[in-house]
Structure 1
Amino acid sequence: MKLFSIAAGTAAMAIAGILGWAEWMHRGASKRRLGGRSSAPGRQAIVVLGCRNRGTRANYLNRYRVRVALRSIDPHATETVVVFCGGAVGSDIPEADLLLHYACAQRGYDGGYVLDRLSRTTWENIANVVDLLSEFDTVKIASNSMHAEKARAYLWKQRPDVAEHLVAAKDYRFGEITPVKPIAAIRGIRALRRSRATL
Structure 2
Amino acid sequence: MSRPHPDPSPARLILGSSSVYRKQLLSRLGLQFETMIPDIDETPLAGEAPETTALRLAREKAAAIAARSGPALVIGSDQVATLDGRQIGKPGNHTNALQQLQMMRGREVVFHTALCLWDGRRPDAATAAQLCNVQTLVRFRDLEDAELDAYLRIEQPYDCAGSAKNEGLGIAILESIRSDDPTALTGLPLIALTGMLRQAGVRFFGSGNADPQ
Q: Same fold by TM-score, threshold 0.5 exceeded? A: no
Structure number having the greater helix percentage: 1
Structure number having the greater strand percentage: 2
Larger relative contact order (Cα-Cα within 8 Å, sequence gap ≥ 6): 1
Q: TM-score range by the shorter chain?
A: under 0.3
